[in-house]
């Protein structure tokens, strides 16, 4: 019985190491190939891993894009547009909370003088949205990632993706960077 237990533990340990190695290899792959979304008109820039998100169709506008995970369960939304209604940062934040995230459990929501983040869960989904006001509030730049709510271990993958994408984000200030 002791030998069988030892053999089972050895097999279990080997299987665990193999699974971790496979997960690590896949995890390394998503970090290698990136594409960039650059909104020339507004100057917005963000990059994303092509193994995790893909554009299903050509965008019909230069203001934004929606990208999907291969299984369609996660989305990355990116965009920049004129603040035609001249909303304040606080008013736009309240608008998003009411229209996009009503009933959400917000677990991270810093707000600074020209940007804010809303992150949390709503139903069976998690979300992270970063919004920046540029050019004195005339332009709104934002990106959001929405993905399935899963056991903590599974969410770590998408958490890492959010963190990696966040590091590439540069809000824009027009074609030349001078709010033109």
Query: Do residues 42 and 87 share a domain?
Result: yes
131, 140 Cβ separation under 8 angstroms: yes
Looking at the fold, whether 21 and 39 belong to one and the same domain comes out as no
Residues 5, 65, single domain; the answer is: no
Element (H, E) at 65: strand 64-68
Nearest to 124 by CA among 155, 94, 99, 88: 155
Task: Return per-residue pLDDT of the chain as tens, 180 residues.
Answer: 434 433 333 333 333 333 333 334 344 466 678 988 888 888 888 999 999 998 877 766 667 889 999 999 999 999 888 999 999 999 999 999 999 999 999 999 999 999 999 999 999 999 999 999 999 999 999 999 999 987 766 668 888 999 999 999 989 887 778 887
Token duo for residue 2: 């002791």
Whether residues 6 and 46 fall in one domain: no
Query: Are 154 and 122 within one domain?
Result: yes
Task: State whether 79 and 109 are in the same domain.
Answer: yes
Q: Does residue 75 lie in a domain region?
A: yes
What is the domain count for the chain?
A: 2
Q: Give the SS3 label for residue 112.
A: coil
Q: Do residues 14 and 61 share a domain?
A: no
pLDDT score, position 60: 60
In this structure, is residue 46 part of a structural domain?
yes
Distance CA(146)–CA(53), nearest Å, equals 12
DSSP alpha helix (H) spans, the chain: 2-30, 89-99, 152-166
Q: Are residues 86 and 73 in the same domain?
A: yes
Same domain, 41 and 110: yes
Do residues 55 and 134 share a domain?
yes
The residue segments making up the domain with residue 118 are: 34-166
> Does residue 173 lie in a domain region?
no
């Amino acid at each position: 019985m002791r030998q069988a237990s030892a053999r089972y533990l050895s097999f279990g340990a080997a299987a665990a190491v193999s699974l971790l190695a496979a997960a690590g290899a896949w995890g390394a792959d998503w970090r290698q190939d990136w594409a960039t979304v650059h909104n020339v008109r507004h100057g917005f820039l963000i990059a994303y891993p092509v193994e995790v998100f893909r554009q299903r169709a050509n965008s019909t506008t230069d203001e934004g894009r929606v990208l999907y995970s291969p299984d369609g369960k996660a989305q990355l939304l990116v965009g920049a547009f004129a603040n035609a209604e001249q909303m304040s940062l606080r008013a736009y934040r309240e608008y998003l909370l009411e229209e996009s995230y009503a009933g959400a459990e917000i677990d991270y929501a810093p707000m600074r003088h020209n940007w804010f983040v809303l992150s949390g869960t709503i139903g069976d989904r998690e979300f992270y949205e970063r919004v920046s006001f540029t050019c004195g509030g005339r332009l709104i730049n934002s990106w959001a990632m929405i993905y399935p709510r899963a056991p903590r271990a599974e969410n770590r993958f998408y958490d890492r993706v959010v963190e990696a994408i966040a590091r590439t984000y540069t809000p824009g200030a027009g074609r030349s960077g001078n709010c033109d």
